[in-house]
Each structure stands twice: as C-alpha cells, then as structure tokens.
Amino acid sequence: MQTILTEKPSVAREIARIVKATRRETGYYTGGGYNVTWAFGHLVQPALPDGYGIKGFHRDNRRTKQEQNRTCSDFALQGGGRTTLNLPIIPPVFQLVPRQVKTEKGYKPDSDVAAQIKVIARLFRESERIIVATDAGREGELIFRYLYEYIGCATPFDRLWISSLTDKAIREGLERIESGSKYDNLYYAAKARSEADWLVGINATQAITIAAGRGTYSLGRVQTPTLAMVCERYWENKRFTPESVWQVHFATPGTGADSVVKFSSVEKWKEKAPTEAAYKALEAQETVSITKVERKETVQEPPLLYDLTTLQKEANTKHGFSAEKTLSIAQKLYEAKAITYPRTGSRYIPEDVFGEIPALLRTQKNNPAWAKRLALVGDTLSRRSVDDGKVTDHHALLPTDVKPKMLSADEQTVYDMIVGRMLEAFAERCVKDVTTVTVVCDGVEYVAKGTIIRQAGWRDIYGEETEDTVLPEWTEGMTLPVGGCSMTEGKTKPKPLHTEATLLAAMETAGREIEDDEMRQALETCGIGTPATRAAIIETLFSREYMVRQKKSLVPTEKGLALYSVVKNMRIANVELTGDWEAALAKIERGEMRAETFREAIESYTEQITSELLASDKLFTHKRSDCLCPKCRTGRMQFYGKVVRCDNDACGLPVFRIKAGKTLSDAEITELLTKGRTEVIKGFSSKQGKAFSAVVAFDAEFNTVFEFSEQTRVKKSTKRKK
C-alpha cells in the first residue's frame, strides 16, 4: 500500500479519483493500492517561546556564548519549568508542535489538526512508500517535511511534481514520480526561511515592545521593510512642494482642411520670465523653418506571460482587486483545473510546453470572448516567453484545456486576464513608424511627433492601439506658418501613494524602480517575500492596523507611522538587506549555499536588531502625567513622542498624536483626555491636500474622530453657494 499526501481535501479527492481510491474513510480515501490523505495547510509548526518553557522576557541581552549554546530546556529547568530569558532567544534546535489555536488559557493544539495528524501517522507507518503531493513549491515541501519529522517517520517517500490539476497532468505526473531526495534543497530553503522568520519576528517584537514600555508592536523580517516602503512613500508625498513648470506651444496647418499640428517647446521652464520671452519671440514670427526631420521604426515586443505577482499587480490596477483576493481566485481556478499552478515566480515556459501552445490556443475557439481575437495571434508564434533557463519551480501562468464552468464574475475576470495575456504573449510584435519634426525660433527648439502603425500585433488583442497621428510630408528647410501661440503652466507632482500594485512591484525588486519586464525577472530572487507570500504580508499590515486602504491607495495609520519613526534607520527596516536574505534562500534552494551558513548569519542579524531595538528606548522616552485614563478610569496617561498611552496594562489606551498630517500638542492632547474633545484646531490636511479645521473628539469606543463646528459648516456652505 502507498500513501499519497496532498495539501487540501479537494486535491486529495481529485487524485483519489485518478488512482481509483474510491472508498471514503475518516481522514482519507482508500482503494486501488493507495491511501490518499490530506493536510489543512501547515499541520505542524515551530513551537512558540512558551513551548520551550519560556514565559516573559527582559532587556539584558548581554549573554555569554556559553549561555547562548545552552538548550532551551536547560533554561526551562530553572524555576519549576518557567523562567525569564534574556533576549535574543535563539533555540539551538527548533521544536515542532501541532498547529496551535489561541484560547483564554493560552495557545493549545487545534483538535481537528491533532486528529488528522494521528490518521496520517498511522497511514505513513503502515505504508511501503509515501508519495508527496502537497503543492509543488517551497511551502508545500515544508508542510510535508515538518509533518514527516514531527511524526518521526522513516518510510521512504517520492515526489509528485505537477503544474496543473487536470486529469492528464496528474496521470503524467504519477508516471514520472521522482525521488523525494531530489527536493532536499527546496526543503532546506523552506526550513531556513521559516526559522529566520521565527527568530526575527519573535525577538524583534519582544524587543520593541520592551523598549516601548507599553503596548505591543509587531515586527517581522519582511513585514517591517514593507511597512517602511509604504511610510517612506507617504512622507515623500506629503512633504512634496509643487513647482510651476512653463511651456510654449504653437499650431500650424496639417494635411487636411481642418487639420492642425501642434508644436511644443522641448524645454520646460521653472520660471515665468524666460517662458514669456520665448512666447513673445514666437508670436512675433510669421513663419519658422524645419531644422530636422527624424523618422524611425519603433518595435514593441509582446508582453511576457503572467507570474503571480504580475497578475496581482494588473488585477489591482485594472479591477481594484487586492493581492489576497487575486491569489484566492487564482487558487480556486487552479483547483477547478482551469489554470496552471498560480504561485509561480516565472514568466517563461519551457520548449516542451511551447509545443502545446497551438493546441491550447485552439481550445479558445469556442470561447465567445476570445474566438474572434484568435486570428489576431498570427501563424508564427512569438518565442519571447520561451526560455528553459528562466523557468523556476513552475512555468508561467497559462489556462488549461479544461473549460471552466459556473464562474463568478470575479473568477471570470481573472480567468479572462490569463487567457488574454496568453494571446498577447504569442502574438506578433507591434511596429510603428515615429516621425519627429523640429523647428527653432530664437534659439528655442519646438517639436511635433507623428505615429503610423505598420503592424498592430499584440496590441490588437485588446484593441489598445489608437488611430494614426499623421504628419504632412515635411522635409528639412521647409517653412511653416506660425498659427495660434499659447503658454501653459503645469505643476510638478509627487510620486503617488503606494497602491497594492506599486507595492508589489517594489517588493519584487527590493524597492528599485524598474519598468522593464525582463530586468524585473532578473532581480526576482533579490526581492522581498516571494510571489506566494507577498499578499499575506500586505494583509498582515492591515490586520496589525499599520495601514489602511483609501480607495486604491495604501495609507499608513498613526500607529504605523509611529512605529516607522522608531525603526526607519535600523536593520529591521532595511529593504535591500531583506532582499539579500531572499537571494540567500534562493541560493540554498539551488544548492549554492549551505543552510547552516544562512542560519549563522541570521542568528548574528537577530542579535544585532535585538540590540538596536532594545536601545531605542531613547526614542520612546516619555513624560508622566496626572491625566486619568478616560477609558479605564484607573490608569494614568503617559506622554510619548508619537503616542499618549494609558499605563494600565489591562487597558493600554493609545492616543496617537499625528492626525491628518498635524501633530497635536501636549495641551491639545490634555484637553482631549480631560474633556473628551478639543477646541477647533487649525492646520489639518485632507486626502486631497486641502487644509481644514476641526474638533478632535472621542467616540463611544474612545477612538479619535473629527467633528466640525457650526462655523466651519457655514463657511463650507457659503463657498458652495458662490
């Protein structure tokens, strides 16, 4: 008997059908010489500090090497199994425990998880061989290996590695089962990532919480650099000072009777005086002479196929979907056999998959949304997305030959995006003729551009190409009449606040701003997080209340900005350093670095960030006050630089000083705490950058809200009437 382990019950059901394991038992299917069982994601995880007998932390982190090398159980022997431990806590060996759930009495094993582990352990022991069919990637491998290690199993195992759940893919995968040892490096990388996140997250969170004195702040190896990018962009946007930019234009007759060609100055002036001088000189001329005519062919290659991150970015930009929502939909489409494995980091396919593309395109002939557009692909398929050397664990996202049924509107949207991108990726190049005409007046160059589309190619799939902009057949030396002249003023604009699309792009390249698809792919291993984890990291920042969505924009909260102000110059917030760790994990996966080397570096890094964070109490210095907490009525409010907080541990009411771009003074905060509301305060800034005045008050749950006085309302009403 062989046991197949999948990551989810739904996948187990499909594989069981293929291998004819048709009898359902508690926790598995059986038949045809197979048992097919399942996990619910991670059934086993590294124990929390409590699992090592550690309860409570203190700030003296000056530990000797001898102390650091002692096992956690050694520490637990002190004080009847419970002790405090100097930070950082670095377990010599990580203990594994069944997945925990939080209860009133602390964390306890999930009863459903514990029951399924018992089923799996029995099946593993009774089997001649195990077939690992968890998701074919880093986390899928870790789900099995942690479980295998926790059970203490010695049964040999093989690996089923497939990129889609179609019947054909499952059957072909079962025919070419590979030795489980082939994926040892993948496991080492996954384990190293898991332990690094534990070391950094546990120690950094405890250290910053101790330094703060009150309240709890969560830090993480990837989440904190991601928050730093959001906050940095926020302050860059808010502190930006717009500058005027001036430009001069004139019109001249085009080819048709009513046609006009507009010339604009190449230079954009930051002062009005030189602009007016250029305008007056141009206005005084009746004609100008052409000094240069440049014609060149411009080629736009088809876009690469989607990987998960690119799909998430475009779904956010075009349809407003969150990264988490797009991943969830893509996973459902994968389990419905409609698309290939979604958590891929590659935008390329290998040669053997390219050979299947013509047949795959033909499956869309009966799809009313795409049937008419198939002809636009052309007979010769583009090979831009074909490169065996650039395919990682899985190739780029593709639809399968299975026609999806009963899709929701959002599922149909994501499915159509993947189909449409496939058509674009294999269509012909877009070719344009671009003509640039230059004239000079009083030393100032003016240009006009025309475009003729010779071959729409891939841009015709969505009908993106606009009409030609045809210039007359002008040549150098010709004279053009100067028609209407104009002078325009624009304003420089700040970089917009991050959206999920731009944040995903920044995570992908560790903050480097790169437009080129292929360059981004080259830096993929240097990004922070992975395609499979970035959505969860973003959602963590929402759940920690470090940022919120305002339409599509990501806006840090007062809590997020306060935390950023403390850690922004520390290693824990260094985006490029975090990118280096991701690159190191990729090396482990490729067998180019030992996991032990990475572990040693992460332990050293953990000690450094812990020391930095514990020393940050100077940033958390505060003034004691006699202000009674308005919520619990027992604690006293302590005034910190960015926050005012109740000193009663059971309450900990925070009042953040920064509201709509303005920092409230001690006097204003005191008034709020004692009276429940302030007088009208000036100098707040709206999302649109407009100044406003308001009262700051507590609501029923002691959250701060804005209230507008009758006088303010009257002023607004008067403005509207005008």
The residues annotated as belonging to the active site are: 341
Instruction: Tell me how far apart the alpha carbons of residues 519 and 511 are, in angstroms, rounded to a whole number.
Output: 14
The answer, yes or no, to whether the previous bond of 156 is cis (omega within 30 of 0) is no
Exposure b/e, 434-455, CB count within 10 A at least 16 = b: ebebbbebeebebebebbebee
Residue 260, C-beta contacts closer than 8 angstroms, at least 6 positions apart: 251, 252, 253, 254, 483
- What residues form DSSP beta bridges with 297? 433
Residue type, 540: T
Contact 558, 657 (CB under 8 A): yes
Instruction: Dig out the tokens for 399 from the structure.
Output: 């639809």
Instruction: Tell me how far apart the alpha carbons of residues 10 and 8 are, in angstroms, rounded to a whole number.
Output: 5
Contact 194, 581 (CB under 8 A): no
Q: Where do the DSSP E strands lie in 628-721?
A: 637-640, 643-646, 654-656, 658-659, 662-663, 681-685, 691-698, 704-707
Which of 474, 476, 536 minimizes the C-alpha distance to 507? Answer: 536
Instruction: Tell me how far apart the alpha carbons of residues 535 and 541 are, in angstroms, rounded to a whole number.
Output: 10
Instruction: Tell me how far apart the alpha carbons of residues 234 and 628 are, in angstroms, rounded to a whole number.
Output: 34
Exposure b/e, 157-166, CB count within 10 A at least 16 = b: bbbbbbbbbb
